[in-house]
A and B are shown apart, each in its own frame.
Chain A
Amino acid sequence: MGLETLFGHSYLTTRLDEAVNWARKYSFFNYPFVTACCGMEFMSTFASTYDIARFGAEYPRFSPRQADVLFVVGTVNEKLAPVLKRVYDQMCEPKWVVSFGVCATSGGFYDNYATVQGIDKIIPVDIYIPGCPPRPEAVLDGLLKLQQKVSTESVLDRKYR
């Protein structure tokens, strides 16, 4: 934001951090980069039984420019890797990445010529949700972890990656 950098780590900036992080963590606009099987659990999580709206993250934006959180849901292969990178680059700061399921996390049990062994080979990742596919409870847990992570960040520290 600019002005707050003048104050450094002081009372003002920590109060500002709290207010900004509170707003950020309860209103994630997510970009669902859904490719594979995990998408089925992603749908379940967004439907009424598990209702991710309780955590303020129910609103998908299909334009990366309007999204805060990139959900990479499913396997990413070498052909798709440039697309993922491009979507990530188009998102504005602050942005977070959630790796949804083991394929996105590490390639899972697909270890062959086609697959990328984890999206962290392409883009930085904030939260990994394990499972093949993760149950909706695990997804919500991952979301809470992301909220925790966001609440510890400072407007001063956020580095442009």
Chain B
Amino acid sequence: METKKAELPRNWELEKLADGRMVLNMGPSHPAMHGIVRVLLTVQGERVMDADVEIGYLHRGFEKTCESVTYNQCIPYTDRLNYVSPFINNVGFSLAVEKLMGIEAPPRCQYIRVIMSELSRLTDHLTCIGANAMEMSAFTVYFYLINAREELYRLGDSVAGGRITPAYTRVGGLTRDLPPDFKQATAEVFRMVRKNISDADKLLTRNRIFYDRLHNTGHISKEDAISLSFTGPALRSTGVPLDVRKATPYLVYDRFDFDIPVGSNGDNYDRYLVRMEEMNQSMRIVEQALAQLPDGPINHPDFNVILPPKGEVYGNIEALMAHFKLTFEGVKPPKGEVYQAVEGGNGELGFYIVSDGTGNPWRVRVRPPCFSLTGGLSQMIKGGYIADIIATFGQINMIGGELER
């Protein structure tokens, strides 16, 4: 296939490298590149002089596909955006459509959404730190943290019926309520998660090898991070206390007492510390939310928004019609456009939805947090060693599904 000269990567011209530099291809099928990112490095010895990050190996056409399905049918696709924290994507998308329709889910539903979002944040950070530690050859930590994640997956499974792809929310509500023993199960799981995190903390935080590989690598300044649209732990590690949950609270986040950990140095080690502390804060939020959890319905009362209960469908013509219309045509928000941001595992996860008044969205755009982070990757690894790329890449927590959608 003929390739156009203009579209070749910038530093792919070998003739310029007469000064001893060489071009090294890393990825896309490379263990530290998580399968799907290619970095073309120009190296001088072990030093990275230039880097060109190439993505797109997991582009699955999410945005185009959403234009041809109904709003509720988009929700399973959102699971697979950031598959490490699927509940947050579900919640973000549902919130965006609810904002478009001008409705609000009942209080119990909002609390449950907060709880599930925070459980997702835990799985996200556990996976990130576990995988990062494994790549730094701390294999034991990987097992500890993945075991903790496993317990959280089982908890999520008991709620939503899916470990990784739950598709739990619907526009205006949820697929089902929490199971009856959820509070007790959560307390037990958290006991184990806390123990495993504390073990990992003892193994990593003061570990000389781990510290040396993370400290002062992948450094980025506050100004650069803001200019590159960084959000989430990567931005907070530079000292900017920006968190969507605090800045523009959605759901019922303003009712909980939690802190936003910030770093000061903007390097990988600070990002690691921020994530470790965020996990504790997430557990705090879940415990408060469970204590405050109100009784009541979990779904919006309007049958034009949420499927009526089966008993109603069989016994009531309006409910039957609503069921039919919702299944075939879906919810119909008015014409308009909204942007709804939630705090994902990696930063601000935004959904921009344009409706033309029909049952299918006209345009769905996801603002993926790690898109900006990966965009800034080349700047973060320039000047460092090749080995630092692995630490940096692990700590920006690139998730292919949301990076390339």
Contact = CB atoms under 8 A, between A and B. Distances in A.
A80 interface: yes
A36 B401 contact: yes
Contacts of A39: 34-35
A76 to B, nearest CB: 9
Given A44-B146, A44-B150, A34 B165 contact: no
A110 B61 contact: yes
B29 interface: yes
B36 A35 contact: yes
A113 B58 contact: no
Contacts of A133: 164-165
B150 A47 contact: yes
B61 A114 contact: yes
A132 interface: yes
A44 B153 contact: yes
Contact of B65 (A37, A60, A77, A110): A110
A22 interface: no
A41 B164 contact: yes
Contacts of A74: 35, 58
Interface in B97-156: 127, 131, 142-143, 146-147, 149-150, 153
Contacts of A95: none
A35 B57 contact: yes
Interface stretch (B40-48, B76-84, B205-213): B76-84
A47 B146 contact: yes
A40 interface: yes
Interface in A41-60: 41, 43-44, 47-49, 60
A135 B163 contact: yes
A135 B154 CA distance: 11
A109 interface: yes
Contacts of B143: 47-48
B194 interface: no
Contacts of A79: 56-57, 59
A113 B36 CA distance: 18
B60 A110 contact: yes
A95 B78 CA distance: 35
A113 B61 contact: yes
Interface residues of B, number: 35
Contact of A40 (B30, B56, B58, B127): B127
Interface string A83-120: 10001000000000000000000000111111100000
B332 to A, nearest CB: 23
Contact of B400 (A36, A43, A111, A112): A36
A89 to B, nearest CB: 13
Contacts of B255: none
B163 A35 contact: no
A59 to B, nearest CB: 13
B83 A37 contact: yes
Contacts of B150: 44, 47, 49
B31 A83 contact: no
A114 B146 CA distance: 32
B191 interface: no
A77 B83 contact: no
Nearest to A113: B61
A36 B58 contact: yes
A34 B399 CA distance: 12
A43 B59 CA distance: 22
B64 A37 contact: no
A39 B33 CA distance: 13
Contacts of A83: 28-29, 57
A109 B80 CA distance: 11
A121 to B, nearest CB: 16
Nearest 8 interchain pairs by C-beta: A37-B83, A112-B61, A47-B146, A114-B61, A62-B31, A34-B35, A80-B57, A110-B60
Given A37-B79, A132-B165, 19 more contacts: A33-B35, A34-B35, A35-B36, A37-B164, A44-B146, A44-B150, A48-B147, A49-B150, A60-B31, A77-B57, A77-B58, A83-B28, A87-B29, A109-B77, A110-B65, A113-B64, A115-B60, A115-B61, A133-B164
14 contacts: A36-B58, A37-B79, A39-B35, A40-B83, A40-B127, A43-B146, A47-B146, A62-B31, A113-B64, A114-B60, A115-B61, A132-B165, A133-B164, A135-B163
